[in-house]
Amino acid sequence: MQRINEDIKTGKLKQLYLLYGEEAYLRKQYRDRLKSAIIGDDTMNYHYYEGKNISVGEMIDLAETLPFFAERRLIVLENSGLFKSGGEELAEYLSAKPESAYFLFVETEVDKRSKLYKKVQSAGYAAEFTVQDEATLKKWILGMVKKEGKNISGAALNYLIEKTGTDMENIRKEMEKLFCYCLEKDIIETADIEEICTKRISSHIFDMISAIADKKQKKALELYYELLALKEPPMRILFLIARQFNLLMQVKELQKKGFRDKAIGEKVGLPGFIAGKYVTQSARFSKEDLREAVEACVEAEEAIKTGKMNDNMSVELLIIRYSS
């Protein structure tokens, strides 16, 4: 990100940029910043394409066309999939592209072994946008809070991240709701977050598994019914329950091998501060119980798909079984 900021600041822009990774909010922000820096408000020489049905030949023809009363032509390709397969022709062409042609690629996933990735990396710049760590997210949120002329306590800030998750776009939307709700207040409190911010589904599942571990059957079922009320399909809830038990099994195994929270998080794809909560939750189950629960989820899915049991009832019985 620092490299891109420097390119924009100095005006020494590259003809090839690739923005990729899990953090969609940052990808979008830097996509728009680069677009503005490369071509400004010029719509005649700007071309945007999204999806996997992109014609490489058409992209090449566009790049070969001289820009209309300008020095640059910008072609933006988003979620094209070309960095996983089918990008060989474009990679070869980019070696002989005209000086007026600029390409900006925006992808969620890439194969770093692909010819297109290697070409952009060597001739331009590839920036990866990963899920941000706790410290970075807190600094970003505090910046938004300060801009609004408000304050937030440390406890409220921790609760906000816990409730909304680490997706920056989701946090931004929840912050907008929070600022409107606290319009007449100077300090944002935990109660405000509880009242107005939407709880992410994964948090619901986490709380449901906690209730199951504590044998709080009523609470576990209430959380399940809440998800149904939010129009979450039972099969997706079952998938998330199975994923949670599987994650807990991996976390338990890694902890047994001596890994700490941060390292565990990196290995299973969780931020360090969230991984700590998973470590605590995994301690409430034996390894055998977790393995059995994962197998029970597979059996429930099979029963639903073969028509032996209704999807709603199957998930409900699973929750009852492990919370009894």
pLDDT digits (tens, 9 = 90+) for 7-40: 999 999 999 999 999 899 999 999 999 999 999 9
Q: Is CATH 1.10.8.60 the right assignment for the domain spanning 134-196? A: yes
Residues of the chain with CATH 3.40.50.300: 2-128
Residue 26 has a pLDDT of 95
Span(s) in the chain for CATH 1.20.272.10: 201-323
Read off the pLDDT of each residue in 286-303 and give the average, rounded to a whole number: 91
Q: In the prediction, which pLDDT does 200 show? A: 79
Looking at the whole model, is its pTM more than 0.95? no
Element (H, E) at 187: strand 187-188
At 253 the pLDDT is 92
* Poorest-pLDDT segment among 76-85, 95-104, 191-200: 191-200
Reduce the DSSP state of residue 201 to 3 states and report it. Answer: helix
Q: For residue 162, how many C-alpha atoms fall within 13 Å in the half-sphere facing its CB?
A: 16
- Please give the share of the chain, as a percent, with pLDDT higher than 90: 64
In the chain, ranges of CATH 1.10.8.60 domains: 134-196
CATH topology of domain 201-323: Zinc Finger, Delta Prime; domain 3 (1.20.272)
The domain 2-128 having CATH identifier 3.40.50.300: the answer here is yes
Torsion sign, CA atoms 179, 182, 187, 189: negative
Confidence of residue 270 (pLDDT cuts 50, 70, 90): confident
**Residue 192 CB partners (closer than 8 Å, separation 6+):** 156, 178, 181, 182, 185
Does residue 208 have a pLDDT over 90? no
Average pLDDT score over residue span 303-310: 90
What is the reported pLDDT for 209?
Answer: 87
